[in-house]
């Protein structure tokens, strides 16, 4: 994720998506959803307080929907958002990364296995791979779609990690899959 992306102002957005201001309104709405409230409460229970500006909208140069950076918080890429549901998904996915970062004292984002584990959890627990979302993306598989989707999306996220080659990412994902896929904390079970 590129922290240097500048947030523009104004209402015109020539690239599609939403303006930063529109996206900030959508983030405020997502903060009132039950899953986001639950994750924020559990972050605080784990000892990580989320400040006022922990989640912010920016205009992104890269083709990503958002990201989490330790010590800085979560960004949502306004120019890649069109629907409230998309903003909610990004916020939930990135809050799971923040939760993992908070609860694991030694989480190292340059370690391929650590990164893969958090991506597996975020993909599985956020609803990123819900059947309806997969249909909208053009993936029509009836059986096993969720795990296949999580694997695909883990590899996409891992591709942005300069410390992990595609081979190292796949090996790390396979090595930690069972433990991380079945770790549903802070949820009792996968939502």
Active site residues: 94
State the DSSP string of the chain: --TTPPPP-SS--TTSS--HHHHHHHHHHHTTSHHHHHHHHHHHHTT----TTSEEEE--SSS-SEEEETTTEEEEEGGG--SHHHHHHHHHHHHHHHHHHHH-TT--TTSHHHHHHHHHHHHHHSSTT-HHHHHHTT---SSSHHHHHHHHHHHHHHTT-TT--HHHHHHHHHHHHHHHHT--TTSSS--
Question: Are 24 and 98 in contact, with CB atoms under 8 Å apart?
Answer: no
Report residue 169 as tokens. Answer: 């990412």
């Amino acid at each position: 994720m590129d922290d240097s992306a500048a947030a523009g102002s104004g209402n015109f957005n020539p690239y599609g998506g939403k303006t930063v201001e529109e996206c900030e309104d959508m983030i405020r709405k997502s903060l009132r959803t039950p899953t986001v409230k639950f994750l924020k409460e559990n972050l605080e229970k784990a000892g990580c307080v989320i400040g006022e500006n922990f989640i912010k909208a920016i205009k992104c140069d890269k083709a990503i929907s958002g990201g989490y950076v330790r010590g800085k918080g979560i960004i949502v890429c306004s120019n890649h958002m069109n629907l409230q549901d998309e903003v909610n998904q990004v916020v939930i996915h990135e809050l799971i990364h923040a939760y993992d970062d908070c609860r694991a004292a030694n989480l190292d984002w340059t370690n391929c296995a650590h990164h893969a584990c958090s991506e597996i959890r975020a993909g599985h627990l956020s609803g990123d791979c819900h059947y309806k979302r997969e249909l909208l993306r053009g993936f029509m598989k009836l059986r096993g779609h969720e795990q296949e989707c999580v694997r695909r999306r883990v590899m996409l996220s891992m591709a942005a990690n300069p410390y992990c080659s595609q081979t190292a990412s796949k090996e790390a994902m396979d090595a930690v899959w069972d433990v991380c896929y079945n770790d549903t904390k802070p949820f009792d079970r996968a939502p």
